[in-house]
Amino acid sequence: MSEYKKSERVAAIVRMLTDSPNRLFNLSYFMEMLNAAKSSISEDLDTIDNVFKNLGLGELETVTGAAGGIRYIPRKDKSKYREFIDGLCINLSKVERIIPGGFLYTADILYTPSICSEIGEVLASCFASKKPDYIVTVETKGIPPAFMTARALGVPLVICKHDNRVTEGSSVSINYISGSTKNIRTMSLSKRSMEPNSKVVIIDDFMKGGGTARGMMNLMKEFNAEVLGIGVVIATREPKTKLVDDYVSLIELVDIDEEKGTVELKCGNWERL
Amino acid sequence: MSEYKKSERVAAIVRMLTDSPNRLFNLSYFMEMLNAAKSSISEDLDTIDNVFKNLGLGELETVTGAAGGIRYIPRKDKSKYREFIDGLCINLSKVERIIPGGFLYTADILYTPSICSEIGEVLASCFASKKPDYIVTVETKGIPPAFMTARALGVPLVICKHDNRVTEGSSVSINYISGSTKNIRTMSLSKRSMEPNSKVVIIDDFMKGGGTARGMMNLMKEFNAEVLGIGVVIATREPKTKLVDDYVSLIELVDIDEEKGTVELKCGNWERL
């Protein structure tokens, strides 16, 4: 019989499962750690699944078969995500966030782990069913939200760079045209970064013209990777026609008026998914 | 009486606490969420603390007083961290990681969330007692480990850049000399990035000559910030005298021999703390 009580086993199992979202744990892992019978662990997992569902804290997914087990999926009710995004919109529309030139200061939001973790969870929930092998982003500000999306999906992140660092070995480079400024820029990725023929989702912090996302799509072609989708934290309403056809945004930036000191933000198109 | 059983309450509390390390939760938060008496929640927390300590899964810390509550600290036994670092050393010493020029390919390790999360936890454990207000890093490869260190400590990340992006408003720039290549580089940070007179810990993925860390220290002076410490994932053994006096490394890179195809790595100086 287990030396641990049910509530103690549950505490340990929740800690392990939620610390590695989407990682598949074999039941024997918990049986050994807690010196418990399979039937006890199964009951514990049912308890956890029930209360998580009741309180909207995520879900447990059972995979059957010899290589099967249990994994934690950090999927919450849409209403909870909606509440979170609405809160973000209020925070981001503060007048002091307006930067001369019509930009919006967002770094504090993206670089605060508790907020960025939730952003990653919402983005992950948009693409989880597509089962990507990697999340792809480009330096710099997109890295934290892309990394937290990757964490929620339990897959590695791949970071494209704006120069060729000698420390990562041979790389593939492409040129692309910034959608808004029309400047030519270079983007490169180490050949070791990903397996060929992978499935990827592109994540970035911001999209205006869509040139950067288009650049990443072109770079992915060089790796024979299939792009399953594109997700951004904030997308501008204008220009309506972007250089990528399809993307998911958490927040839509409708307008920044420097004169009046107003920022208009709306919930993005992520809810439609 | 609570509608939830003890094991159900424990599942929910563990999920909330461990999802936001170092965030202080008032007990009334859990009392409301679970419709439970204070005495029940207190007992639940004791149960969690006990089993976490027994299994080396972290600790709960109680803060007394009106603004008090409970927080989760992801601190494990040194032996567990040692095991993890030893495993990293074995992984990183594979011959196929050697990149022409005597570099080591580490991006896959740093960009895999489950591994990087543990790296951040070990680094956080080295500096937790100093209570920094921010973690500071410079783009690009140091961002994921620095972000996970910030997450474990429950503080925001600050990212220094190698150019001046117009989208972040006015910024402070400094020049610094790379410790190993002796090139002059620029590093800048948006003025909005941090409150003046803050306490910070600098985190990076790699240190050779220490020039980049020295640069960040100089940039911090411009913000009147106090640098409490410097932590890196990998530090080279040579040059022994680096441009910063004191730093913590998880792994020491003793030697890369391209001819022989060997990489020699050792556990860094983090254990001494």
In contact, B110 and B233? CB cutoff 8 Å: yes
Residue with more model confidence, A76 or A6: A6
Is B38 within 8 Å of B27 (Cβ atoms)?
Answer: yes
Taking an 8 Å cut-off on Cβ atoms, the answer to whether A147 and B113 are in contact is: yes
How many other CB atoms sit within 10 Å of the CB of residue B76?
Answer: 20
Angle of CA points B201, B77, A57, to nearest 5°: 80
User: Does the beta-carbon distance from A10 to B12 stay under 8 Å?
Assistant: no
When pLDDT is averaged across residues A210-228 and rounded to a whole number, the result is 97
Cβ neighbors of B116 (< 8 A, separation 6 or more) are A147, B109, B110, B144, B145, B148
Q: What is the mean pLDDT of residues A41-62?
A: 95
CA distance A246 to A130: 15
Write down the pLDDT at residue B96. Answer: 95
Six-digit token pair at B207? 């240190």
**Average pLDDT estimate for A116-129:** 96
| Backbone region of residue B24 per phi and psi (left: phi > 0; alpha: psi in -120 to 50; beta: other values) | beta
> What are the structure tokens assigned to B102, written together?
């005597």
pLDDT at A15 over 90: yes
> What sections of B142-210 are H helices per DSSP?
143-153
Residue A65 touches chain B, beta carbons under 8 Å: no
Number of Cβ atoms within 10 Å of the Cβ of B192? 16
Q: What is the pLDDT of residue A178?
A: 82
pLDDT band of residue A170 (cuts 50, 70, 90) is very high
Question: What residues 216-255 of chain A have any CB closer than 8 A to a CB of chain B?
Answer: none
Task: Tell me which residues of chain B, numbers 118 to 147, contact chain A at a CB-CB cutoff of 8 Å.
Answer: 139-141, 143-144, 147
Q: State how far the Cα of A85 lies from the Cα of A174, in Å rounded to an integer.
A: 34
Assembly ipTM: 0.95
pLDDT of B119 higher than 80: yes
CA of B47: which chain A residue's CA is closest? A8
State the pairing for strand pair A171-177/B226-236.
unpaired
Q: Which residues of A touch B168 (CB under 8 A)?
A: 99, 103, 105, 107
State the pLDDT at residue B2.
Answer: 59
Does the structure show a pLDDT above 70 at A77?
A: yes
* Residue B202, both tokens: 């600098």
Give contacts of A212 with chain B, Cβ < 8 Å: none
Residue A2 has pLDDT above 70, yes or no: no
Residue B1 pLDDT class (50, 70, 90 cuts): low
Report the 10 Å Cβ neighbour count for A174: 18
Mutation site, A6, A9, A10, interface B, largest B CB count within 10 A? A10
**For A37-65, what is the mean pLDDT?**
95
CA distances from B12 to A11, A51, B134 (A): 9, 7, 29
Instruction: Scan residues 84-103 of B and list those with Cβ closer than 8 Å to A.
Output: 99-101, 103
| Residue B179 banded pLDDT, cuts 50, 70, 90 | confident
- Chain B residue with the nearest C-alpha to that of A45: B11
A8 touches chain B (CB under 8 A): yes
Domain boundaries, chain A: 6-73, 78-272
pLDDT at B101: 87
Average pLDDT over residues A187-208: 96
Minimal CA separation from A246 to chain B, in Å: 25
The confidence score (pLDDT) of residue B77 equals 86
Helix (H, G, I), strand (E, B) or coil at B99: strand
List residues bridging with B64 in a β-sheet.
none
Closest alpha carbon within chain B to A134: B112
How large is the C-alpha radius of gyration of chain A? 21
A113–B150: do the CB atoms touch at under 8 Å? yes
CB atoms B57 and A15 under 8 Å:
yes
- In a 3-state reduction of DSSP, which class is residue B242? coil
Residue B22, chain A, CB below 8 Å: the answer is: no
Contact present, B151 and B20 (Cβ < 8 Å):
no
Tens digit of pLDDT for each residue in B196-239? Answer: 999 999 999 999 999 999 999 999 999 999 999 999 999 999 99
Chain A within 8 Å of B117 (Cβ-Cβ)? yes
User: Can you name the CATH fold of B78-272?
Assistant: Rossmann fold (3.40.50)
Model pLDDT for residues A248-266, shown as the tens digit of each residue: 999 999 999 999 999 999 9
**Would the CB atoms of A113 and B154 count as touching at under 8 Å?**
yes
Q: Within the 177-206 window of chain A, which residues sit less than 8 Å (CB to CB) from chain B?
A: 190, 192-193
Look at A161 and B140 and tell me if their CB atoms are within 8 Å: yes
What integer is the mean pLDDT of B58-68? 91
- Whether A111 and B11 lie within 8 Å, measured CB to CB: no
Per-residue pLDDT, averaged over B192-196, amounts to 94
Residue B155 pLDDT class (50, 70, 90 cuts): very high
Q: Would you state the pLDDT for residue A181?
A: 77
First to last CA, chain B: 46
- Helix axes of A38-55 and A6-19: crossing angle, nearest 10 degrees: 70
Average pLDDT of the residues in B59-77: 91
- The DSSP-derived string for chain A is --SS-HHHHHHHHHHHHHHSTT--B-HHHHHHHHT--HHHHHHHHHHHHHHHHHHT--EEEEE-STT-EEEEE----HHHHHHHHHHHHHHHT-GGGEETTTEE--HHHHT-HHHHHHHHHHHHHHHGGG--SEEEEETTTTHHHHHHHHHHHT--EEEEBSS--GGG-SEEEEEEE-TTT--EEEEEEEGGGS-TT-EEEEEEEEESSSHHHHHHHHHHHHTT-EEEEEEEEEEESSSSS-SSS--EEEEEEEEEETTTTEEEEEE-GGGG-
Q: How many pairs of residues across A and B have Cβ atoms under 8 Å apart?
A: 179
B24-32 contact pairs (CB < 8 A, 24+): B24/B63, B24/B67, B24/B68, B24/B69, B24/B70, B24/B71, B25/B69, B25/B70, B25/B71, B26/B68, B26/B69, B27/B69, B27/B70, B29/B69
CATH code matching the domain that covers A6-73, chosen among 1.20.1600.10, 3.40.50.150, 3.30.497.10, 1.10.10.10:
1.10.10.10
Cβ distance of A51 and B147 shorter than 8 Å: no
Region B248-273: mean pLDDT is 94
Cβ <8 Å between A7 and B4: no
Of B105, B117, B143, nearest to A168 by CB-CB distance is B105
Which residues of B fall within a CB distance of 8 Å from A116?
Answer: 147
Which chain A residues touch B136 with a CB distance below 8 Å? none
